[in-house]
Structure formats: structure tokens, C-alpha cells
Amino acid sequence: MGSGENIFRPGSSSDGEVRAGIVVTGTEVLNATIPDRNGPWLSEQLAELGVELVEILIVADHPGDLASGLEHMKSVGIDLIITTGGLGPTADDLTAEVVASFAGREMELDPEMEARIAAILARFAANSRLELSTDAINDANRKQAMIPVGAVALNPIGTAPGLIVPGQSEADPLVLVLPGPPRELQPMWKAALEEPLLRSVIDQATRLESYRLRMFGTPESELAMSLREIEKEGLPFDGLEITTCLRKGEVEIDVRYREAAAGSAGKLREELARRHARTLYSFDGRTVDEVVSGLLQGRRLALAESCSAGLLAARITDVPGSSDYFAGGVVCYSNEAKRDLLGVEQDLLDRHGAVSAEVAEAMATGALERFDADVAVSITGIAGPGGGSEEKPVGLVHFNVQTGEGKTRAAAPIIPGGRRDVRERSALVAMHLLREMLA
């Protein structure tokens, strides 16, 4: 059970569509010395504005690489290019110059910006009490105050101003140049949104609506087949962007659309619910942990965990307010703990072994009684890598869910993967068994 992503997009409407690309500059980001925090953050901001992010490129601190990235984005019809990084005072910080060349514009000194940066540097020098070279400060100041002719300069948060650089014609992409440090980039992005030149592009986008569905128990291949059949049966997918992703044992379906496609988006949700009524458990994006939390309101839950080692309890208590319904749990690896803490009879352990349906049932019963609970869940299995046999292979996990009213649900799947996978997926399976019992 790996994870993957698939974009199912047979067609889309161009009305109200603005396409954006992000170029992250920095050899240290390319080499994974530091993670890219700007690309994902800007992606979220663009999505909220209805702007479609086409791609994120990461390039080294080489002018030629940045220039190639800009030309590539222009060639694929990007309307807005956002660059991050490369605005510092050193000789290798050349983003402003490369962007100016790309836009066909000369660089010129902005005296007001030069004075503003000089004041920032003077404050820094005074506060740091360092003896800094006046010539070096002036050179750095002048370099960062060089602005492409016709561009809008954005006031620096640190010492580097941002830039909004238009092309030579309306067909050329607009380039927004932002600094690399997130603490500088994020407030500057908000300031850039106040500028008419940037708004002239962004305001052409119509806001995207979206919803997220969650499934458990349906393979991605089966879901893909359903989508193909739904389209073949006449539901138009034009204007819909459907993304499916297998994430930690569940399938997420994200559907994004503009107002014109709202009818198709609603019908798609209805059709998926009809075809996958058993496995589609979340229509509003809530996780299984959040769904179970809602179902447990007014009830008292107890747990008995062996191979999952408390991971189920951790998931339960990760949701705020869980103290209202979670009575407690027992992590009992040894047979003695199962016997002494949960009341599992020694005869059951001797005859069936700790990993068995009978012991799982007795563990749940013991937890239900000892915590005076309304519902209890037990987990006992073989996480590996050793301890398995032909009769009871590694990955075999027994589950039991009981209610105080006498209802019981049991399962014994063989969960694939290594030791960590078996333990984490055991907690996931238990959450869904609990959800099914309470729903």
C-alpha cells in the first residue's frame, strides 16, 4: 500500500483561468540541504485566489538555470511567474538582473529605495555593534536598489526589495520577484496583492470551489474505473479537476471546479456516493479520527492494545475534546498483562495463543468492564519481523469491537508492510471498525 497521485482531467474550461508557476532559486534547496517552504505556502495562497498553479521549478543559483526556467514557463502559457530567492547583496544574487533581461528591461538605480535600504542597514549596524565597511555597505545598498525600468518595487522586509515586473506585451507573463526567507516572503506577498499591476492579472481568475471525499477499502484502480464509467455514461467532466491520492491507507478525492461546473461537481459527488456507499465515509473532508470523535459524543470508550502499542489511543486523543469520551486504555504485550489487567483467562491464552479471535474478544470484554465503558476496541497481532508462522503469519492482526449493548464486530486481516506499517495500519483499521460499529 504505497501512495500516489493521479489527475483525472478530461477537459477544463479556460474561462476565468489564470495559470501560475513558481521558480524557487537556491542550490541549497535543490540539494535538499534546506526544505522548500515557499513553494507549498504560495501554492495555498494562489489556490485561495482561484489561480491555477501549473508547476514549481527548483533551480540552482546560476543565472542560466533561472533564465531557462523563466523561458520554459513562458513557453507553456504561464500568466504569472513567481520567483523566490536570489535578492541578496552578494555577487551571486542575480534574480533581479535575470528577470529584467527576461522581460526585456534595463536596470536603473531607484534613489528612494537606495535611501530606504541605507536606513535599514544603518539600524542593523548600530544594533549589532559591529564595525562594518562603509564601502561594502554602500555597494550592497546600491546593488539591491537597482530596479528594472517600469517595474513596481516592493518595500523590503529585510534588506531586499521585491519586484513586480511586466513584460513587453500583454501576452508576456508578469513576474513577481520575492525574497527567499519565508519571514520576508510572506508579508511581502500580502503587500504585493495590494498593487494594481499584480491585481490586474490575479483578478482575472474566478475563485475555485472544492470538496474532499475520503474512502477506506476501495483501491485507487477501482476508483479510476468508476470515474471512467461515470464520464462514459454522460456526466461532463469539463471544468472539473479531480485528484485522487492514496494516503496512509485511505484514498482521498479532491474535486476543484469553478461556478460554471458546480452542477457537474455535485452530480459527481452523488454518483461516487452511490457506487461506493460502503467505503466512502467522509463527504466534507473530515478525517476518520474526526468522524469517530463525533460518533463517540455521549459514549465512553475503552481500549486494549497489544501490537499497536498505544497508537490507537494516540489517534483518539489527538482530537481536541477526547477527554469527554475516552475513559482509558491498556497496552498489554505479555500474556501476564492480558491476564492480570484485562482478565483474559489463562486457558484461552494456552489453547488459542495471544494472537487469536478468542483472546481479542476477551481483551475487549475486559476493557469494557474495567473502564465501565459503552464501547471497547481490542488489537492483538504479529507486527514482525519475527514471530510469525505458517498458521499465523507476520501481519496477522485480530480486532474486536464490543458495545455494552452486546453488539460485536471482529476482523482478522493480514496487514502488509514492515513492523511500523503493521502497527500504524492496525490503528487505522481499528478506527474504521469503530466508526462502522457506531454509525
In this predicted structure, the answer to whether residue 195 has a pLDDT above a threshold of 60 is yes
C-alpha cell at 43: 501554492
| DSSP H or E segment with residue 428 | helix 419-438
| DSSP H or E segment with residue 7 | strand 5-8
What pLDDT band is residue 208 in, cutting at 50, 70 and 90? confident
Q: How far is CA 335 from CA 35, 159, 332, 430, in A?
A: 46, 65, 8, 21
What pLDDT band is residue 93 in, cutting at 50, 70 and 90? confident
pLDDT > 90: percent of the chain: 84
pLDDT of residue 1: 38
CATH fold of the domain at 296-438: Maf protein (3.90.950)
pTM summary value: 0.77
Name the more confident of 303 and 137: 303
Tens of pLDDT, residue by residue over 159-191, are 899 999 999 998 999 999 999 999 999 999 999
Mean pLDDT of 220-242: 95
In this predicted structure, the answer to whether residue 207 has a pLDDT above a threshold of 90 is no
- DSSP code per residue over 90-116: STT--HHHHHHHHTT--EEE-HHHHHH
The structural domains of the chain, with segments of one domain joined by +, span: 17-202, 209-285, 296-438
Residue 320 identity: P
State how far the Cα of 110 lies from the Cα of 99, in Å rounded to an integer. 17
Identify the sign of the CA torsion 121, 184, 51, 74.
positive
Mean pLDDT of 268-278: 97
353 CB contacts (<8 Å, ≥6 apart)?
A: 359, 392
Tens of pLDDT, residue by residue over 352-381, are 999 999 999 999 999 999 999 999 999 999
In this predicted structure, the answer to whether residue 256 has a pLDDT above a threshold of 70 is yes
In this predicted structure, the answer to whether residue 50 has a pLDDT above a threshold of 70 is yes
Half-sphere exposure of 254 (CA within 13 A, CB side): 12
C-alpha cell at 431: 478506527
Name the more confident of 184 and 119: 184
* DSSP SS3 for 14: coil
174 CB contacts (<8 Å, ≥6 apart)?
A: 79, 80, 81, 164, 165, 166, 167, 197, 198, 201
In this predicted structure, the answer to whether residue 105 has a pLDDT above a threshold of 90 is yes
Torsion of CA 410, 414, 418, 419, to 10 degrees: 30
In this predicted structure, the answer to whether residue 11 has a pLDDT above a threshold of 60 is no
Mean pLDDT of 333-343: 97
CATH fold of the domain at 17-202: Molybdenum Cofactor Biosythetic Enzyme; Chain A (3.40.980)
Tens of pLDDT, residue by residue over 58-79, are 999 999 999 999 999 999 999 9
Mean pLDDT of 299-306: 98
CATH 3.30.70.600 fits 209-285, yes or no: yes
